[in-house]
Amino acid sequence: MGSGGSVGDTGATATTRPRPGAFARAWAKAVSGTSYLPMTQAQLEALLQRLTERLALALRADPFDLRIGQQVGAELVQAHIASAEGLGRTIEVIQLRLVRDLDLAVDDVEDRMARLLATVATGYARALRDRTLDEQEAIRRAAMMARAQAERALRESEARFRHQATHDPLTDLPNRTLFTERLTTAITAPGRGADRIGVCFLDLDRFKVVNDSLGHQVGDSLLVSVARRLRRALGEHLVARLGGDEFVILVERTGCTEDVVKVAEAALAAVSEPALVEGHELTVSASIGIVERQVAGTSPMELMRAADSTLHWAKAAGGARWSIFDADRNRRELARYALSAAIPAALDRGEFYLDYQPLTGLRDGRVVGMEALVRWRHPELGVLRPDSFIPLAEETGLIVRLGSWVLAEACREAGTWAAGAADAPFVSVNLAVRQLHRPGLVQEVQGVLGRTGLPPERLQLEITESTMMSTVAEPVRALRVLADLGVRVAIDDFGTGYCNLAYLRDLPVSELKVAGEFVAGLRAPADDPGSRTDERILASLVSLAHALGLTVTAEGVETADQADRLRAIGCDAGQGWHFGRPGPAVPHLRRSPALTDSVS
């Protein structure tokens, strides 16, 4: 045995040297490309060199150790040589080259080789199975984690949808939805009927100027600053942002209106604090509408509508203040709104008509003109005077349509007055500011004169002196065109505005109608100092107007003494109750000495 062993070893040394490196390279070449291997060729050969040495150890071990082959198979899988093709080539190269390249002289080598290959395959299969199970477990855990993350994200999203459904994203204040919910609960919750409740509706004054001049980013930053100050000053009350620059404060369980007034004053003080916004030091003010009442008998909608109306009162009064809801005032304003809304239908139904007041020459008592005054025969309220609906029509823009009707109707009726007479009176029609600024005014007047056949010189248009002082040139150009056609232009209520006689020199004006305030002073005795002053003022106005080629009509003449004094200072005509109250045209014409025969 010893001799044989010696011969065998000597022979192996003499004829060939073991080549583990060559075997490892052959193994590496065989498995390359069978799987994705996250290593370089050199790293692969080094790994397989180490496994080659372990395989050689397994073949030589006595007794035969099955664990080595299994470990080699497992390490192949760990090294990502984990395909069926990779295993097949591994077994093939081990079977064909391992004994030869390593010159292994081992008894029963074939049996050992078969068992070795079996253990390598077994270790390989187990490792592959374990890796698959691990991967499946990892996938399962990843799926569970992904599902948990998705559920968490969903909950967070739902929660955010709820920072968004009830809170303002810019200021983080409660929004309209949450405020309405709280207000509804405060009013409708059981046992709250005897409680009192208050609302402060706040709006920043002239906030649009900030946006327009400094940009919306600065405006947004200012809103955030205002919201922060309101929350700090009124922390015990619900402060919400309704949108834009509107905020609202809910004051629950008030004792009286004064409780809400104190909250409003605190809010105004907080808003008025100077704020440094985006490098700009800004100071703003606010207006607040206050409503405070018992919970029983009210509703969230009524409360907010009342607060909104009251806010507009504060705005109209100049801003930077609070106003308290007044039920009587609110009823009056609702009635005014209903009246303005009824104007278009009233025009369609023919509910408007004209009265006339004569303009009488002070020298001969002749009716030189008639001012058209519109009336409304309301089906429920009776006859309405102009002061009850003309301001509404001007606010809503309906004055344009109404004024067009007055112009057309006045010209139509004037065409029937002493037709053909050389001294027939003119008709005087008031033009509203909106009418005067319409681009088609000239064409409208020409069309009316053409349809009615009224000569242009028998139409007088009355405008206010503030309108004539406008910097817009187009209205003045339109009046010049009409004056060139022969239409008379008069300044109404002269002396109540800021027009001056020097400016009138350059305007297409033919007559001044002096405001009744000046004439009223002439009712006092002539020796009264105040009356003498008014008379001197009127005399100066008349003298200057005549120097400019204008005629002068005094409004508000109520007594014969006023008429006599006006005649004495050279005033051309008078208008007022002394000469006739507004009414149908024909009776006035019959009182005129020069027109009696023409209208009889």
pLDDT higher than threshold 70 for residue 600: no
Count of domains for the chain: 3
Model pLDDT, residue 95: 83
Question: Considering the domain boundaries, does residue 583 fall inside one?
Answer: yes
> Quick one: 103 and 210 in the same domain?
no
Mean pLDDT of the chain: 88
202, two tokens: 């706040």
> Same domain for 208 and 319?
yes
537 and 565 together in one domain: yes
Q: What is the mean pLDDT of residues 537-561?
A: 93
DSSP 410-452: HHHHHTTTTTT-TTPPEEEEE--HHHHT-TTHHHHHHHHHHHH
Strands 352-361 and 367-378, bridge-based pairing: antiparallel
What value does the mean pLDDT take over residues 160-164?
A: 66
- On whether residue 548 sits in a domain, the answer given is yes
Query: 302 and 383 share a domain?
Result: no
pLDDT at 371: 97
What's the rounded mean pLDDT across residues 431-444?
93
pLDDT-wise least confident of 89-98, 522-531, 585-594: 585-594
Question: Per the domain annotation, does 520 fall within a domain?
Answer: yes
Helix (DSSP H) and strand (DSSP E) numbers for the chain: 25, 16
List CB contacts of 429: < 8 A, sequence separation 6 or more: 371, 372, 406, 407, 410, 411, 459, 460, 461, 462
Q: Are residues 184 and 223 in the same domain?
A: yes
Does residue 571 register a pLDDT over 90?
A: yes
pLDDT given at position 563? 96
pLDDT of 296-330, one tens digit each? 999 999 999 999 999 999 999 999 999 999 999 99
- What does the pLDDT read at residue 456? 97
In three-state form (DSSP H/G/I as H, E/B as E, the rest C), the secondary structure along 6-40 is HHHHHHHHHHCCCCHHHHHHHHHHHHCCCCCCCCC
Q: Is residue 146 part of a domain?
A: no
Boundary of a domain, candidates 269, 304, 325: 325
Asked if the structure places residue 149 within a domain, the reply is no
Indicate whether 289 and 417 sit together in one domain: no
Mean pLDDT, residues 210-238 taken together:
94
Domain end, chosen from 118, 138, 158, is at 138
Say if residue 532 is in the same domain as residue 393: yes
Q: Which residue has the higher pLDDT, 517 or 459?
A: 459
Tell whether the model's pLDDT for residue 283 goes beyond 70: yes
Cβ–Cβ contacts within 10 Å for residue 111, how many? Answer: 11
Confidence grade of residue 156 (pLDDT, cut at 50, 70, 90) = confident
Average pLDDT over residues 59-63: 83
CATH code at position 128 = 1.10.490
Across 508-515, average pLDDT: 92
Q: Are residues 85 and 226 in the same domain?
A: no
Which tokens in the block code for residue 334? 């609702």
pLDDT tens-digit map of 228-247: 999 999 989 999 999 999 99
Q: Is the pLDDT score of 530 beyond 90? A: no
Examine residue 551 and state whether it is found in any structural domain, yes or no. Answer: yes
3-state secondary structure of 141: helix
Residue 29 inside a domain? The answer is yes
Check whether the bond before 63 is cis (ω within 30° of 0): yes
- The CATH number covering residue 317 comes to 3.30.70.270
- Let me know whether 130 and 181 are in one domain: no
Q: Domain check: are 196 and 305 in the same one?
A: yes
**What pLDDT score was predicted for residue 78?**
87
Q: Which two tokens stand for residue 380?
A: 């429920």
* pLDDT given for residue 292 in this prediction: 97
With 0.95 as the threshold, say if the pTM is over it. no
411 and 479 inside one domain: yes
Domain range spanning residue 219?
176-325
Per-residue pLDDT, averaged over 534-563, amounts to 93
Inform me whether the pLDDT recorded for 7 exceeds 50: no
Could you tell me where the DSSP H helices lie in 453-486?
A: 465-468, 473-485
Single residue among 325, 351, 383 that ends a domain in this structure: 325
Q: State residue 580's pLDDT score.
A: 94
Q: Quick: pLDDT tens for 450-503.
A: 999 999 999 999 998 777 666 567 888 999 999 999 999 999 988 766 556 667
